[in-house]
Amino acid sequence: MTEEVWKIRNYNEEKHQLSDCWELWVDEMSESFSSSELNARSIAIFQTVEEFWSVYSSMSSLQVMPKGVDVYLLKSGNSPNNGQKIILSFSEKVKSEWDLIYQQIVLLCVGSTISYYTSLVGISYSVGSSLKISIWYSGSNETMLSDVVRDINLIPNMVEHTTRISIKN
């Protein structure tokens, strides 16, 4: 059969733009790390769905991520710094679910479906005895934060897996 019958597309040429360009940062804290220092470096930039999946699929599983490494997925033009953030904590009891939990939150953010997307700076995670995922915003109010928490809680099984939600300025 011919290409016209099957309407075969060249998917290498067809790209699906995201609402924003995103950047992946990694901060491998050293022994002498202090909370006032950031050693983060940008390791990838993407602006299409296809580039996102290429970057995302190259990331290590959260279950094997060494302690002391923070990973940031930020809208381009932002850098890891102190800002308003919602911190979600997940215990080691649900470690087998960490990758899925993170993926669902990433898709909510990168896919621009989270509430107050225009104020979203990005998300980050750090692995220790628990998983902490932070959703960063440039500014917020009580209604905004409760709407974002509502969005997160709509993700299947999120309420059951989350051990704590906190807000930090």
pLDDT tens digits for 1-10? 445 555 555 6
Domain boundaries, the chain: 12-29+39-168
Find all residues with CB under 8 Å of 105, minimum gap 6, and list them. Answer: 88, 123, 133, 135, 152, 155
Locate tokens 């989350």: which residue? Answer: 162
pTM of the model as a whole: 0.83
Measured in whole angstroms, how far is the alpha carbon of residue 39 from the centre of its chain?
A: 19
Ranking 64-68, 132-136, 137-141, 151-155 by mean pLDDT, the lowest is 137-141
First and final C-alpha spacing in the chain: 61
pLDDT tens digits for 91-131? 989 999 999 999 999 999 999 999 999 999 999 999 988 89
Question: Which is nearest to 99 in space by CA: 64, 129, 148, 55?
Answer: 64
Q: How confident is the model at residue 89 (pLDDT cuts 50, 70, 90)?
A: very high
**Radius of gyration for the alpha carbons in the chain, expressed in angstroms and rounded:** 17
**Residue range 12-29+39-168, CATH number:** 3.30.760.10
